[in-house]
């Protein structure tokens, strides 16, 4: 069970399966935007909110790619 507290840890965990090129401009911009979103949410939650994310306690989410226009 791994707990993630920092935005880049959370983002790294989520993007890892995509095997993105970390040096690509699009990847850097995506990570930058996600860091901003996560930090904004963490500030909005305040000190009483959760400070870490434990993905092992979250239910699995299955996305139907065909329903979301994957071009198939």
Stretch 36-51: mean pLDDT: 82
pTM of the predicted model, to two decimals? 0.64
Residues 36-45: contacts with CB within 8 Å, 24+ apart?
38/7, 38/10, 38/11, 39/7, 42/7
Q: What is the pLDDT of residues 19-41, one digit of tens each?
A: 999 999 999 999 999 999 988 88
- Percentage, residues of the chain above pLDDT 90: 35
Pairwise pLDDT comparison (47 vs 71), residue with the higher score: 47
Judged against a pLDDT cut of 70, whether residue 1 lies above it is answered with no
Stretch 44-63: mean pLDDT: 74
């Amino acid at each position: 069970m791994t707990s993630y507290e920092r935005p880049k840890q959370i983002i790294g965990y989520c993007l890892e399966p995509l095997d993105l090129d970390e040096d690509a401009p699009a990847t850097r911009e995506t990570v930058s935007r996600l860091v901003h979103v996560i930090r904004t949410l963490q500030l909005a939650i305040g000190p009483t909110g959760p400070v870490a994310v434990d993905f092992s306690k979250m239910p699995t989410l299955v996305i139907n790619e065909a329903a979301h226009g994957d071009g198939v």
